[in-house]
Structure 1
Amino acid sequence: MSINKLSSKELIIRGKWILTMSDQGDIKDGAIHILKGKIKNVSSYSDLKQKLPDLEIVGDGTGIVIPGLINAHTHFSEAFIPGMGSEMTLFEWLREIVTPVCNNLNREIAREGTILKVIEMLHSGVTYVNDMFVHSNPNDMASLGVVEGLNHVGIRGCVSYGPEDCPEGVTSINSLKVDKILDEHKELESIVSENNFIDFRLGIGTLLGQTDKLTKESIKLCKKKGWKIHTHMLEAREEIVHSVLRWGCRPLQHAQNIGLLDLDVIAAHMIWTNESDFTMLKKHNVSVVHNPIANMILGSGVCPVQRLRKENVNIGIGTDGTASNDSQNMIESLKLTPMLQKIHHLDPSVMSAVDALKMATIEGAKALGISDIVGSIESGKRADIALFSSTVELATINDPYQQLVFGTSPRSVSDVWVEGVRLICCGKTTTVDETEQVLKTKYISHKLVKDSGLIKKGYSEMFI
């Protein structure tokens, strides 16, 4: 089922708190009027109830209403490989876990994995996801399955294909031809261009993972087509060493030298920065995505979030992929973003719950270039909204921001709308059968890890 075939209802969404993330500020005992998939008005509940007495009302006035969360970086290609490699470094994990799986991905796996993980995201209040699908199956344009999966559930998102034709330190990856890679980029963009709910970016897994020829041709294609870029940058210290050995400079400097930063770029991680990196990020208006959980699990380091925000670099929050996070629960990433900064700086005031929620909504939208349509609750924007109901977690609300960021979980997410379509209703998905999807993906997951040699290697004890 495609969201484009569904219709939104005119209704009122009510909350004890409406956290608009806009200049209008927070509204206590507020409400939102939804009409034709857009936000028509945001006001007090009493005002809207008086003006629109006959409309359906969702929410009993005890919960918290926010803009839908924006998961600014993940990998649906990792949907079926959680729980592996948590004691490995980034490069060990890529070599041992991710690369063997990349060789065996296909469009069906991409579609079903996307559906599975989108369900998980919706339950944590996500309404927009920025994905990079990484695979090395030259005979199957697997990334196209992500579009099918997003359409099936009805979430908004951005897709990219992140190929690597010479991954550093990896020798078991399938051979990829530059022409075939460029063909998949073109085909993916072509399909997305027909869809009002999905955006496209050209994916560059890492600069180190690509031949200079592929990177050059990718940049050339983006400049010709006006495409944007989704990549990884400065995730691990080893990147800097390999970059200096290969190009004689740091990764971001190399990106500037070859013209990559002349494009619209969003880069995940950006941990191992120096002063020249900050200068280049500001100069080229590069956006960044912080992925706290994956960075902690792999021991990669701590992103300088506060410095980036101080320098007015647009920065959002991502879960990263299931293989490096083990979850797609965006609320966990939202919570751990300020917590990691507090402990890293030994300063509880370094980052507030308000700052974190901004990053997961309006600032994430700015980073992705979509703040004109989503990221805040204000008249004229798309009705992408999440309602947190009054569960045991929200029985007492002294500060709605602190309670939402530090004290909630998916159990409190009762309803989620995308373009006014109710994808989560009273805690249940409306466009896909969760039980059926779980059963369907068990077999797919087992076959994938078996074919990838992960059971034989001892990384999985899965059985049917």
Structure 2
Amino acid sequence: MACVSGLVYHHGEFIEGHLELSEGGARFLKGPGDDALAEGIIIPKLVNCHTHLGDVFIPRPEGGSIREIVAPPDGLKHRMLRRVSEEEQVAAMHGAIARMRRSGLSHFIDFREGGLEGVKRLLNASIGTHVRPVIFGRPSTQAFDEAEVDSLLSVVDGIGVSGIAEWNRGELKELADMARRAGKPFSLHASESMREDIDAILDMRPAFLIHMIEATDSDLEVCASSQTPIVVCPTANSFFGIRAPVERMLEAGVKVCLGTDNAMLATPDILSEMRALRAMVQKDRLSNPALFRICLDNGRKTLNSILGLSAEVGEYGDFLVLDKPLDDPFGQVLEATEEDIHPVSFQKFDGEVR
């Protein structure tokens, strides 16, 4: 039976083995495989847990505050989003998604601005890319309109909003409750530039939170006890001179996931973002196995509740083979680029592209 062989990643460690390939997926077996189609370091395909891909057409600003650059309704990003043509935006997003695929990504969770029109543009941009956008849409304004939300919920995977500060609290609760009644998760940015009331945030029952830069230890402990994951975005945060308290999050027991945030500020490449997180946190506070659980396991576990995506390498044929030496696999993965991904990673067993 066809296989790929080498060191196979499994929940924070690498095991010598191989994946037997079939039309139904791949089965892990210990030990080397015979007549392997490819040999190397085998990891799951990557998940980007937070993007705003719609602003990828905007040149990277030289500087500015969160409010000046990305805050609704009148930050630079939102002014540009109101002006951009559908053709320009869709083409830019399509190019970005194609690059995400080449860098080994299978899914990305996008907070999609622009109501139904924004969702439509992202869906059109993803056609033919073989990458699955997990779309967390939002109303076209910071106001609850039941008819608009009902239409939105018929096409999105979830609802993702900017934060509690931009909304009337009661209307935001209506939005979150309506999403859950439709069986769709709700999420939001929280405590990004100033601390916000964690009780009010968790009252929305979010599936996960974005940033929590200004969270207190108590806030993080509440997130851990409520099993609310937090997505961190090191590169985009660094543009604003801020930093997620990853060490305190882990000490509190929070499940941490990795995203890239605004495409105008950071390339949506998780291999690159892994390196940014590794450089940000010292190894005595974040070991390589713990880093890899954040980057390779936790995002897929978060998506498991939304899409049923497995965290197991090879499930449904979902794996990457990195054409790298087998010594120091953690270091080799951290150095990997799209040029190191073996072409077999993009094929089904029957030879079709996936």
Same fold (TM over 0.5): yes
Local SS of the residue matching 1:154: coil
Structure-1 residue corresponding to 2:274:
334
For the residues of structure 2 that align with 1:161 and 1:320, how far apart are their CA atoms? 15
- For residue 26 of structure 1, what is the amino acid of its counterpart? F
Assess if the C-alpha contact under 8 Å between 2:153 and 2:182 holds in 1.
no
1:324-379, CA deviations, whole angstroms, 9 ceiling, x for partnerless residues? 21x1222111011121112xxxxx4211222222111112222334596333326x
Shift of 1:382: 2.4
- For residue 79 of structure 1, what is the amino acid of its counterpart? V
Shift of 1:145: 2.4
For the residues of structure 2 that align with 1:184 and 1:421, how far apart are their CA atoms? 43
Structure-2 residue corresponding to 1:172:
none
Local SS of the residue matching 1:227: coil
295, 313, 319: which one pairs with 1:385?
Answer: 319
Shift of 1:103: 1.4
- For residue 321 of structure 2, what is the amino acid of its counterpart? L
48, 52, 65: which one pairs with 1:89?
Answer: 65
Assess if the C-alpha contact under 8 Å between 2:221 and 2:254 holds in 1.
no
Local SS of the residue matching 1:40: strand
1:125-150, CA deviations, whole angstroms, 9 ceiling, x for partnerless residues? 21121111123xx7x62212222333
**Moved beyond 6 Å, runs of 4+:** none
Distance 1:89 1:130, change over 3 A: same
1:77-127, CA deviations, whole angstroms, 9 ceiling, x for partnerless residues? 11211422x421211112442111221356555543332111111222211
291, 307, 315: which one pairs with 2:233?
Answer: 291
Local SS of the residue matching 1:19: strand
Structure-1 residue corresponding to 2:167:
210
Shift of 1:37: 4.2
1:170-228, CA deviations, whole angstroms, 9 ceiling, x for partnerless residues? xxxxxxx632xx55544444245xxxxxxx11111222222335313202312322321
For the residues of structure 2 that align with 1:350 and 1:422, how far apart are their CA atoms? 44
Structure-1 residue corresponding to 2:204:
260
- How large is the RMSD of aligned CA atoms in angstroms? 2.9
> Are 2:308 and 1:367 aligned?
no
For the residues of structure 2 that align with 1:349 and 1:162, how far apart are their CA atoms? 40
212, 216, 223: which one pairs with 1:281?
Answer: 223
Assess if the C-alpha contact under 8 Å between 1:105 and 1:142 holds in 2.
no
> Are 2:255 and 1:314 aligned?
yes
For the residues of structure 2 that align with 1:130 and 1:284, how far apart are their CA atoms? 21
Q: Which has the larger radius of gyration?
A: 1
Local SS of the residue matching 2:165: coil
For the residues of structure 1 that align with 2:162 and 2:150, how far apart are their CA atoms? 17
* Equivalent residues, number: 350
Local SS of the residue matching 2:137: coil
Assess if the C-alpha contact under 8 Å between 1:37 and 1:383 holds in 2.
yes
Assess if the C-alpha contact under 8 Å between 2:106 and 2:130 holds in 1.
no
For the residues of structure 2 that align with 1:349 and 1:209, how far apart are their CA atoms? 38
Per the normalisation by structure 1, the TM-score is 0.68
- Which runs of 5 or more residues in structure 2 are unaligned? none
Local SS of the residue matching 1:26: strand
> Are 2:93 and 1:114 aligned?
yes
- For residue 313 of structure 1, what is the amino acid of its counterpart? V
For the residues of structure 1 that align with 2:261 and 2:59, how far apart are their CA atoms? 12
For the residues of structure 2 that align with 1:283 and 1:113, how far apart are their CA atoms? 40
For the residues of structure 1 that align with 2:139 and 2:179, how far apart are their CA atoms? 15
Shift of 1:416: 6.8
Assess if the C-alpha contact under 8 Å between 1:270 and 1:288 holds in 2.
yes
For the residues of structure 1 that align with 2:274 and 2:192, how far apart are their CA atoms? 19
Assess if the C-alpha contact under 8 Å between 2:191 and 2:211 holds in 1.
yes
Distance 1:267 1:186, change over 3 A: same
- For residue 214 of structure 1, what is the amino acid of its counterpart? E
Distance 1:34 1:356, change over 3 A: same
337, 341, 350: which one pairs with 1:413?
Answer: 341
1:369-411, CA deviations, whole angstroms, 9 ceiling, x for partnerless residues? 4596333326xx322111211xxxx4x5531112211x22222
Shift of 1:279: 3.1
Shift of 1:296: 0.6
Distance 1:39 1:134, change over 3 A: same
- Which runs of 5 or more residues in structure 1 are unaligned? 1-9, 167-176, 193-199, 241-249, 343-347, 432-464
